[in-house]
């Protein structure tokens, strides 16, 4: 009996060893102190999906920058997790968070700028990136019909040459859990103002939803950071027929919005 129990314990230990392990490591090299952390968590998403979330980070104490990778993996409930997952999404980021059992969002900001990536929970498909916190709301009062919105500010020297145009301000996204319904490229005739509106050091952007269930809209506000006066300007884009209505959008002078396709 003791031998049998020992064999079971060894088998269980081997199974555990095959799984990713949480860990912490602190090292000192001269004046440099480094902390490396691996976090592993499991989550039941909906009724039939099990997620494994792994975050590996490395930070030099005193440095602003952080090196971190986040992996989100999914299996059907009851599947042996030693088998290949349905999908595995690994990106630079510090956290993977499930939203409404429909999507998951990864915190991507490793430096001073916060931003997020949104993915479809069913298969890990990337939906959009956003430099404002993910906006979630229902388009119906009678039932919960969730929609998601965000605003992405393109990086300098973007891989998409269209986004390197000096008039570009950013991309507004509107999506369901299944797909991106519409994206709009916001531009400004004045390239100096476009640079200002894209700035992370000098500008704050806020995306909100309002207008009631019968006349919903997205409001994207731009405000200058202190010590400059806020001088807030806003773009208002109506939601009609479960879509963004660019034709009836209200934008500040010299600004425009047009359909964007990746």
Q: What is the DSSP string of 8-71?
A: HHHHHHHHHHHS---EEEEEEETTEEEEEEEEEEEEEETTTEEEEEEEEEEEETT-S--EEEEE
In this structure, the answer to whether residues 248 and 134 fall within a common structural domain is yes
Q: Is 17 a member of any domain?
A: no
Q: Which residues of the chain have pLDDT under 70?
A: 1-18, 212-214
In this structure, the answer to whether residues 39 and 145 fall within a common structural domain is no
C-alpha 31/C-alpha 47 separation (Å) is 50
Q: Is 118 a member of any domain?
A: no
Segments forming the whole domain that contains residue 59? 22-98
pLDDT of residue 10: 33
In this structure, the answer to whether residues 44 and 157 fall within a common structural domain is no
Q: Is 103 a member of any domain?
A: no
Q: Is 16 a member of any domain?
A: no
Other C-beta atoms lying within 10 Å of the C-beta of residue 19: 11
In this structure, the answer to whether residues 70 and 196 fall within a common structural domain is no
Prediction pTM value: 0.89
In this structure, the answer to whether residues 135 and 223 fall within a common structural domain is yes
What does residue 198 show for φ and ψ, rounded to 5 degrees?
Answer: -85, -15
In this structure, the answer to whether residues 170 and 253 fall within a common structural domain is yes
pLDDT of residue 18: 56
In this structure, the answer to whether residues 131 and 242 fall within a common structural domain is yes
């Amino acid at each position: 009996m003791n031998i049998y129990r020992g064999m079971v314990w060894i088998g269980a230990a081997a199974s555990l060893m095959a799984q990713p392990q949480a860990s912490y490591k602190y090292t000192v090299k001269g004046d440099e102190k480094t902390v490396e952390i691996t976090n592993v968590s499991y989550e039941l998403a909906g009724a039939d999906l099990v997620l494994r979330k792994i975050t590996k980070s490395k930070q030099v104490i005193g440095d602003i920058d952080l090196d971190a990778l986040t992996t989100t993996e999914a299996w059907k409930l009851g599947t042996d997790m030693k088998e290949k997952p349905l999908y595995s999404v690994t990106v630079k980021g510090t956290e993977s968070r499930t939203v409404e059992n429909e999507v998951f969002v990864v915190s991507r900001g490793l430096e001073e700028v916060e931003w997020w990536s949104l993915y479809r929970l069913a298969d890990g498909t990337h939906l959009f990136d956003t430099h404002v916190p993910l906006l979630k709301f229902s388009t119906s009062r009678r039932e919960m019909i969730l929609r998601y919105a965000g605003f992405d500010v393109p990086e300098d020297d973007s891989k998409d040459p269209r986004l390197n145009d000096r008039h570009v301000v950013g991309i507004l996204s509107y999506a369901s859990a299944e797909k991106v319904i519409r994206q709009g490229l916001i531009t400004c005739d004045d390239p100096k103002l476009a640079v200002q509106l894209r700035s992370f050091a000098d500008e704050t952007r806020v995306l909100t939803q309002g207008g009631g269930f019968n006349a919903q809209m997205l409001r994207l506000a731009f405000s200058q950071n202190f010590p400059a006066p806020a001088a807030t300007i806003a773009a208002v884009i109506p939601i009609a027929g479960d879509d963004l209505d660019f034709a009836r959008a209200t934008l500040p002078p010299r600004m425009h919005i047009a359909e964007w396709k990746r």
